[in-house]
Amino acid sequence: MKDFSGKYAVITGGGTGMGRELAIQLTAEGCNVAMCDVSAENMAKTKELCVKEAPQGTRVATFKADVSLEKQMNDWAESVKKELDTDHIHLLINNAGIGGGGSFVNGDRAQWEKTFDVCFYGVINGCRAFLPMLMKAREGYIVNTSSVNGFWASIGPGRPHTAYSAAKFGVKGFTEALQEDLKMNAPHIKCAVVMPGHIGTEIVANSRKVLSGSDKVDVAGARKMMASMGMDTSVLDDTQIAQAVEMQAIAFRDNAPTSAAQAATIILDGVRAEKWRILVGKDAEYLDEQVRKAPETAYTAKFYEDLTKSTQWGI
pLDDT in tens, 31-68: 999 999 999 999 999 999 999 989 999 999 999 999 99
Residues 61 and 193 in one domain: yes
- Mean pLDDT, all residues of the chain: 93
Residue 3 lies in a domain: no
Q: Is 64 helix (H, G, I), strand (E, B) or coil?
A: strand
Contact indicator for 258, 200 with CB cutoff of 8 Å: yes
Residues 175 and 190 in one domain: yes
pLDDT in tens, 134-159: 999 999 999 999 999 999 999 999 88
Residues 35 and 117 in one domain: yes
Residues 115 and 235 in one domain: no
Residues 111 and 162 in one domain: yes
For residues 172-191, b (16+ Cβ closer than 10 Å) or e, as one string?
bebbeebbeebeeebeebbb
Per-residue pLDDT averaged across 123-136, rounded?
Answer: 98
Q: Are strands 258-259 and 199-200 parallel, antiparallel or unpaired?
A: parallel
Residues whose CB falls within 8 Å of the CB of residue 273, separated by 6 or more in sequence, listed in order:
none
Task: Give backbone dihedrals phi and psi of 145, rounded to 5 degrees, phi first.
Answer: -90, 110
Of the three residues 255, 270, 286, the one that is the final residue of a domain is: 255
Percent of the chain with pLDDT over 90: 78
CA–CA dist 298, 258 (Å, integer): 23
**For residues 271, 126, 285 and 4, what is the CA-based torsion angle, rounded to 10 degrees?**
20
pLDDT in tens, 192-207: 999 999 999 878 787 8
Per-residue pLDDT averaged across 13-40, rounded?
Answer: 98
Per-residue pLDDT averaged across 272-289, rounded?
Answer: 97
Residues 154 and 276 in one domain: yes
**CA separation, residue 85 to residues 65, 74, 89, 244, 286 (Å):** 20, 16, 11, 47, 43
Q: Which domain holds residue 213?
A: 202-255
CA–CA dist 72, 126 (Å, integer): 10
Residues 13 and 114 in one domain: yes
Backbone Cα Rg of the chain: 19
Residues 104 and 118 in one domain: yes
Higher pLDDT, 118 or 210: 118
**Which amino acid, 204?**
V
Q: Is pTM beyond 0.85 here?
A: yes
**CA separation, residue 226 to residues 77, 84, 212, 233, 307 (Å):** 41, 46, 18, 7, 22
33: left (phi over 0), alpha (psi -120 to 50) or beta: beta
Per-residue pLDDT averaged across 65-77, rounded?
Answer: 98
Contact indicator for 281, 199 with CB cutoff of 8 Å: yes
The predicted pLDDT at position 220 comes to 76
Per-residue pLDDT averaged across 86-95, rounded?
Answer: 98
* DSSP label of 233: G
What CATH number is associated with residue 61? 3.40.50.720
Residues whose CB falls within 8 Å of the CB of residue 52, separated by 6 or more in sequence, listed in order:
none
Residues 42 and 119 in one domain: yes
Which helix H or strand E contains 309, and what residues bound it? Answer: helix 301-310
Instruction: State in Å, rounded, how far the first CA of the chain is from the last one.
Output: 36
Residues 29 and 129 in one domain: yes
Residue 1 lies in a domain: no
Give the closest residue to 244 by CA, choosing from 254, 231, 256, 255. 231
Give the closest residue to 262 by CA, choosing from 195, 199, 193. 199
Residues 206 and 305 in one domain: no
Residue 122 lies in a domain: yes
Residues in the chain: 315
pLDDT higher than 80, residue 273: yes
**How many CA atoms lie less than 13 Å away from 1 in the CB half-sphere?**
32
Which helix H or strand E contains 187, and what residues bound it? Answer: none
- As for how many domains the chain has, the answer is 2
Residue 315 lies in a domain: no
Residue 2 lies in a domain: no
Residues 110 and 225 in one domain: no
Residue 236 lies in a domain: yes
pLDDT in tens, 158-192: 889 999 999 999 999 999 999 999 999 999 999 99
CA–CA dist 288, 260 (Å, integer): 20
